Each structure stands twice: as C-alpha cells, then as structure tokens.
Structure 1
Amino acid sequence: MKLVVQVKMLPTPEQASALEATLRACNRAATHASAVASAKDMKDRNGLQKEVYADLKATFGLSAQPAVRVVKKVVDAYKALKANLRAGNLGPPASRRHRRAVGSPIVFRPEAAQPFDDRCLSWQYDARTVSIWTVDGRVKGLRFACSPDQLKTLVEHRKGESDVVRRGGKWFLIATCDLPEPEVYEPADWIGVDRGIVNLATTSDGTNYQGRRLSRYRRWQARKRAELQAKRTRSATRRLARRAKKERHHAAHVNHKISKEIVSVAQRTGRGIAVEELGGIRERVRLRRDQRGTLSSWPFHQLGQHLAYKARRAGVPFVEVDARHTSQRCPRCGHTERANRPDRDHFRCRRCGLAGPADVVAGVNVRDRARSAWVFVTAPAPSP
C-alpha cells in the first residue's frame, strides 16, 4: 500500500534562498509548458517534452532531469483535470466553474510543490540530510527532522519521487513509501461503527466518541470567520485562509485519534471493522437551512478513510454495509419503523420493547449486516 511520509527540512538561510529560487523557476517553467500544451492540444508526455524541453533548459535554467519532472507535472495536472471533469467535480458543462477550467491553461502557483526523483534528490538517512539539485547548484548537507518511526519507514520502504513543499514559511519533503500489505485475517466477529454529528463515532461495544468539543470549536471558528469576512480586507482574507487550514488540521487530528483507537481494539480482539456506506448522503437528505452548514463541515468521510487505510495497514478486515434504516431497525426482532426512534438519543422498539442508546443500536445493526456481508464475500463461487 502507498503511504506518504512528511519530514521537515531545516535549511540555512542560503539553502532556503536556493530552494525558493528553484521552486519559483520550476513553477514558471510548468506554467509555460502548460500554456504550450493547451495552445497545441498536446497533453501526452512524449510530445510535450519534445516541444518544450529545450526551451525549459535555455529560458528557465533547468537541467535535464528537472525539466523532465516539470513536463510530467504538467501532464499529470491535465490528467487530474480530465478526471475531475469526467466525475462532475467541477459542475455541469454550462457552469461557470467548468467553463473556467476548460477555457484557460492550468497555471501553477509560484511556490507550488515540485517533485524530485532520485537523480535530483538523494537521502542520507544516517546523517538525516538530503542532497538536492537547485538552480544555484547542488545543495548538500540539507538537514531534515522526523520521528524514529518515520525514519524507519523511509529507510525500508521509500520509493519513487519526493515532493518539495513550502508551507507557512517552512520547508517540507513529502516522500512516497510502498509498504507491503499484511494478510487480512479471518475475523472472529465485527465492530460496527455508527458515524454521526453529535457523536462522531459510536461502536457496537458501546464506546462513544462525542463530537461536542469539535462542534463547539467549529462554532467558535464560524463566529471568527464571520467577523473577518465583514472586514473585507486583504489581511482578513489571509487570516481566513490560515484559520480554515487550522480547522481542517484539528478535525483530521480528532479523526486520526478515533480511528487509531478503533483499529487497535479490533486488532487486539481479532475482529473486523464495519461502517455504513454514506456516499452521496448530502444529495439524499433534506435539511433545514440552519443544518446545512453543519452537515457540509461534518468530517464523516475522512473518518471512514482513516479507518479504511489504518485497517489495511494492520491487516484488519474492513467492510462497508448498507446504511438504510440502521437507526430505525430493531436488532432483536427486526421491526423497522421511524417511531422506534422517538428522539435523537433514544431507541425503543414498538414491537418487542428493546430500548437503548440510538447510536449503539445503529452500531449493532451495522455489525449484524457485516456478518452477513462477509459470509457473502468470502463464500466460494459456485462451480460451473
């Protein structure tokens, strides 16, 4: 499985100046190559490289291998754009966003990330330094900092390109690592996970991860966002971007903690993890106006992604099951009715009288569906 490891670079002022000049030169070259690719409708790597290779070296001061990386970066950007257009992520063809995307060439920010392969960048793990090509010559002995676990992963599994990124005035290297996937064991049972807004996750064991603190933090951020938006100044816009990034990082941190704990419990007890399939939930549900912002900022999809990749890395079975009526179905008698859930927190079956916390009941239903789904998935195919 693919995993990225991010380490922080610690350049001297001279090294930082060379890195900044390199990043800006590469992105100017990428913008030029993108304009040529758009004007001549030339999106294949070999054709574009023949067209712009000499120009990138002569005009922008790139050596051979960085020029090749720039061309690949441009081609990959157009592939990503094509995939987004095909998936409808940029709206219908008549929308303004769609027309802007296809009506002009891709432009790269001056400090956008730049990929380097092993010919342009080499790692010295013992010394915790890297040697990297720049427009001012080869920079050697550039120190980086990382945890012992990250260093071990880099030494054993790093493959392919490493991206140089400048973010918030700091320099980072993002390396791709190819880890072997452990064999998925046969689960003794399942942990059903119900995801929500008030309770971010509730397991069939009764463990509840409340979202009260995260919701309070988001409301506070929303108030600060409204105050800054009212100012309508450039500095306010910059602060808004920083606050949005900080809010995303906080939500991701919470989801990492929750998913790590659930996966560790499943691994320790020999069970699998089951979650509801919630794809397209924003299109399926109808909400009041005051609820729309809450649902749009609800990080349920990210929590599912974290659970999935952490489970794969640990060899824990992971399945997604049908989400319909998991909070309205009685796990004992199977009776399904909206009245079984009189309010958000409580469940009481109208037929057999089973009662309990609504989110725990939903987690139990997810667990029960996973049992059936896993039997179906692992059943041998009928002989012809």
Structure 2
Amino acid sequence: MKLVVRVKLLPTPEQTVALEATLRACNDAASRLSIRAFESGRTSRAALQALAYADLKARGLSAQPALHVLRKVADAYTAPRANLKAGNLGRRGSKRYGRATGKAVVFRPDAAQPFDDRCLSWQLDERTVSIWTTSGRMKGLAFTGQGEQLAMLTAYRKGESDLLCRDGRWYLVATCEIPEGARNTDPDGFVGVDLGIVNIATTSTGIRHSGRRLNRRRKADRRLRAKLERKGTKSARRRAKRHAGKEARRARDINHKISKRIVAEAQRTDRGIALEDLTGIRERVRLRKPQRVTLHSWSFRQLGTFIAYKAQRAGVPVVYVDPAYTSRECSRCHHVDRRNRPSQAVFVCQACGFVEHADLNSSHNIAARGWWTWVRGAESQVPALTLTA
C-alpha cells in the first residue's frame, strides 16, 4: 500500500529564491499548456507531448521536469472528464455543467511539482536532498521530520516526491510503499461504524466519539473568519492567514486518533470493519443553508479513508455497505419506519418497541450489513492510498 510522508525543507535564502523560481516556471508552463490543451481539445499525455514537449524544453525545463509538467496537466483533466461522464457535474447544457467545462485549468504559482529520482535524490543519513532547479542542480538542501517519518522514508521510499510551498514554508512529500499486515481472511464478525456530525463515529461495540467539542471549535473559527473578513484591514488579513488551515489540522488530528482506536479494537477482537458508502452524499442531500455549512465542513470522507488505510496496513478487512435507511431500520426486528427516529439521538421501533441510541442502532445495522456483504463475497477493494503519515 502507498502512504506519503511530508518532510519540512530548511532552505537558505539563496536556495529559497531558486526553489521559488522553479515552482513559478513549472506552474506557469503548466498553465500555458493547459490553456492550449483546452482550446485544442487534446488533453491526453500522448497528445500533449506531441503538442508542447519541444516548447517546454525551449522555456528552460529539462527533459524530466518537462514530462512531469505534461503529466500534471493531463492528470488535471482526467478527474473532471470522469465526473462529467458519470453525470456528477450536472446535465449537459446546465449552468453547473457549463462552469465545469467552460474554462481551462489554471495552476497556482506555488502548486506542487512532482520530481522523480532522476531530478531529486535523497541523502537520508545527512538529512539533505539534491534537487533540479531552473538555475541548476541544487545540492545540500537540508530537511527535517519526525523520527517515525524519517524511518519510514529510509525503509520504504519509492517513486516520486512532490515539492510544494505553503505559507512560506517548503515541504517535500515522498511516496512510500508500505507492506500490509497478514490479512484476516476469516473475521469473527464486523465492527459497524456510523459516521456523523454530533457523534463523529459510533461503533457497534458501544463506543461513541463525540463531535460536540470539535463542532463548537469549528463554529468559533467560522465566526472569527467572518469577523476578520468584515474588518478587512491589513492586520486582520495577516491574522486570518495565520489561522488558515488550523481547523483542518485539528480535524485531521482527531480523525487520526479516532481511526487508530477503531482499527485497534477490530484487530484486538479479530473482526473486520463495516463502513457506509457515503460517496456523493454532499450532492444527494438537500439541506437548508445553515445546515449546509455544517455538512460541507464535516470531514467524514477523511475519517473513512483513515480507517481504511490503517485497517489495510493492519490486515483488517474493510467492507462498504449501502447506507440507505440504516438510521430508520430497527436492528432487532429490521422494521423500517420514518417514525422510528423521534429525535436526532433517540431510536424507538414502532413495531417491536426496541429503544436504543440512534447512532448505536445504526452501527448495529451497518455491522450486520457488513457481515452479509462479506458472506456474499463482495469484499470491498480499498484503493491504493496516498495519505500523510
């Protein structure tokens, strides 16, 4: 399985200037090529190489960086093309479809740029890297990271690394091929995981991970952002920039901790994990405007992905089940009724009278569906993951 490890670069002022010029040159070339590709309708890698490889070389890019620019542009059009084909961006002729197809992809000046082993080499013992720049090969570029990250780099690094700049700080994101644990092919049942907003995750074993504290912090962050945007002064913009990403980092840290506990519990009890397939939930669900903010700031996908890759690494099987009516179905008699949910937290079956916490009842249904999915031989195939360790 694939994981990514992010290490922080420690460039000197002269090295910083060279790195900035390199990212600017690569992303400017990518944006120009993207516009040409959009206007000509030729967005495949082969078509782009025939269209602009010589031009990229003439702009000062070496062979390998030029090929990476070509691939970056081609990949930028792959996902939108697939979403258009699947109908995820509206019907042909709709405003949403027009917005998605009406302009070329443009890259930020500091967008990440991939490097392979031909233009980036690691000296792990010295904690330095040698990297191609537009002003020549740069050697002795220092980096730092946590001990666990550096050990993972030493043992498992393989493939490309991405150079990126965030808020004036420089990073390299390296791909690592991590061996999976011995796979459990005969699980003793499944731990059902119900993902939510009030409770971030509820397991069928009765453990609830509350999201009230996180939601209060998110609400406070949104109020602060709105206040700083209204103020609009230079100091307000500076403060807003300092807080940018703070909420995402906090949520990521919480999701890592929750996913680690869920996987450890499943591994300890020799069980698999059953998750709801929530693909496209933001497009399917219709909510009032105040509720939309909460839904769209809900990092359920990240938590589900963290659980999946940690489980894959530990050899714990993961299955995805249909989420339809898991919150309305009685886990005892399986009667489905809208009235079974008199409130957000309470489940009362109208048929058999079973009373349970609503999220716990849903997790039992997910666990049962996970077992039947496994029995039918429809085990989910978790894709190769590229996540920050």
TM-score by length of 2: 0.87
**Structure 1 residues 242 and 90: CA distance shift in structure 2, 3 A:** farther
Specify the code of the residue in structure 1 equivalent to 2:364.
Answer: V
Number of the residue aligned with 1:37 = 37
* Bigger relative contact order (CA 8 A; separation at least 6): 2
Evaluate the alpha carbon distance shift between residue 46 and residue 318 of structure 1 in structure 2; reply closer, same or farther with a 3 A threshold.
Answer: closer
More displaced 10-residue stretch of structure 1: 311-320 or 291-300: 291-300
The alpha-carbon deviation at position 121 of structure 1 amounts to 0.4
Q: Structure 2 vs 1, CA of residues 336 and 7 (structure 1 numbering), >3 Å: closer, same or farther? A: same
Aligned to 2:382: none
2:66 paired with 1:67: yes
CA distance in 1, matches of 2:340, 2:101: 50
Aligned residue number for residue 342 of structure 1: 342
Q: In 2 relative to 1, CA 39–146 (structure 1 residues): closer, same or farther, beyond 3 Å? A: same
From the superposition, tell whether residues 279 and 46 of structure 1 become closer, same or farther in structure 2 (CA, over 3 Å).
Answer: closer
Identity of aligned residues (%): 57
SS of 1:259's equivalent in the other structure is: helix
Query: Aligned pair in 2 of structure 1 residues 264, 97: CA closer, same or farther (>3 Å)?
Result: same
Aligned match of 2:109: 110
Alpha carbons of structure 1 residues 283 and 111: separation in structure 2 relative to 1, 3 Å: closer
Determine the structure 1 residue equivalent to 2:367: 367
Q: Say whether 1:210 aligns with 2:210.
A: yes
Per the alignment, residue 267 of structure 2 pairs with: 267
Structure 1's 99 and 346: CA in aligned 2 closer, same or farther, altered over 3 A? closer
CA–CA distance in structure 1, aligned partners of residues 78 and 235 of structure 2? 35
Query: Any gaps of 5 or more consecutive residues in structure 2?
Result: 380-389
Partner of 1:133: helix, strand, or coil? strand
Deviations 1:285-325 (A, max 9, x none): 45444333222322222222221222112111111223233
Q: How does 1:194-343 map to 2 (within 5 A)?
A: 194-231=194-231, 243=243, 245-343=245-343
- Counterpart residue identity of residue 19, structure 1: L
Structure 1 stretch 218-227 or stretch 174-183: which is displaced more? 174-183
Corresponding residue for residue 382 of structure 1: none
**1:39-74 deviation line (CA, Å, top 9, x unaligned):** 44433434433443333233x322222222222222
More moved, 116-125 vs 299-308: 299-308
> 2:122 aligned with 1:123, yes or no?
yes
Specify whether residues 362 and 52 from structure 1 end up closer, same or farther in structure 2 by C-alpha distance, changes over 3 A only.
Answer: closer
User: Which secondary structure does the structure 1 equivalent of 2:104 belong to?
Assistant: coil
The 2-side partners of 1:313 and 1:146 are apart by: 22
Identify the residue that residue 384 of structure 2 maps to in structure 1: none
The range that moved more, 61-70 or 203-212, is 61-70
The corresponding residue for 2:172 is: 173
Quick one: which amino acid aligns to residue 120 of structure 1?
C
Q: What is the alpha-carbon distance in structure 1 between the residues aligned to residue 48 and residue 166 of structure 2?
A: 30
Change (3 A) 1:72 1:187: same
Deviation at 1:169, TM superposition (A): 0.4
Secondary structure of the residue that 2:71 maps to in structure 1? helix
Flag the 1:234–1:189 CA change in 2: closer, same or farther, 3 A: same
State the secondary structure of the residue aligned to 1:206.
coil
Q: How many residues align?
A: 378
The amino acid of 1:248's aligned partner reads A
**Where does 1:156-195 land on structure 2 (aligned, <5 Å)?**
156-185=155-184, 186-195=186-195
Any unmatched runs of 5+ in structure 1?
Answer: 380-384
CA distance in 1, matches of 2:301, 2:71: 30
Q: Give distance in 2, aligned partners of 1:276 and 1:63.
A: 46
In structure 2, what is the Cα distance between the partners aligned to 1:18 and 1:284? 46
| Deviation per residue, 1:175-227 (Å, 9 max, x gap) | 12223333420211221111221111111111110010011011112212322
**Could you say what the CA RMSD is over the residues aligned between the two structures, in angstroms?**
2.7
Change beyond 3 A, Cα 1:321–1:82 = closer
Question: Which residue does the alignment assign to 2:387?
Answer: none
**SS of 2:151 mapped into structure 1:** helix
Cα distance in 1 for residues equivalent to 2:235 and 2:52: 38
Q: Distance in 2 between matches of 1:20 and 1:285?
A: 42
Letter in 1 for 2:223: R
Give the 3 Å change call, closer, same or farther, for CA 298–72 of structure 1 in structure 2: closer
Alignment TM-score, normalising by the size of structure 1: 0.88
